[in-house]
Amino acid sequence: MATSKAATVINYTENELSAIEILKANRGQKLSAKELGIPTAILTSLGKKAVDPRPMAEGVERVVVLKEDYNGICEHCGAKQSYKLYWVE
């Protein structure tokens, strides 16, 4: 019988913990991944862990990263821009 290698609790990686600190330092500000200096893969991972039904590891607080789509015009070149904005409350 095969046993599952999936984690039974959620924990954050060092990169995710660094990203959480950046997000908390900019609490309430809606910023792009580029403005935050956080790779989108890390932000996506945090978003998935926020809604994962498994419990958090002992002593680890679940962080909910909010996001919304941004559509605008580049003030420098006039080109249309679309990207996501991320923040924590």
Q: How far is CA 12 from CA 27, 43, 49, 59, 76, in A?
A: 19, 12, 9, 11, 38
In 3D, which of 69, 77, 80, 1 has the Cα closest to residue 33? 69
Q: What is the pTM of this model?
A: 0.82
Q: State the amino acid at position 8 in one-letter form.
A: T
CB-CB contact of 82 with 69 (8 Å):
yes
Q: Is 5 helix (H, G, I), strand (E, B) or coil?
A: coil
- Condensed to tens digits (0 to 9), the pLDDT of residues 18-77 reads 999 999 999 989 999 999 999 999 999 999 999 999 999 999 999 999 999 999 887 788
CB-CB contact of 86 with 65 (8 Å):
yes
- Condensed to tens digits (0 to 9), the pLDDT of residues 52-61 reads 999 999 999 9
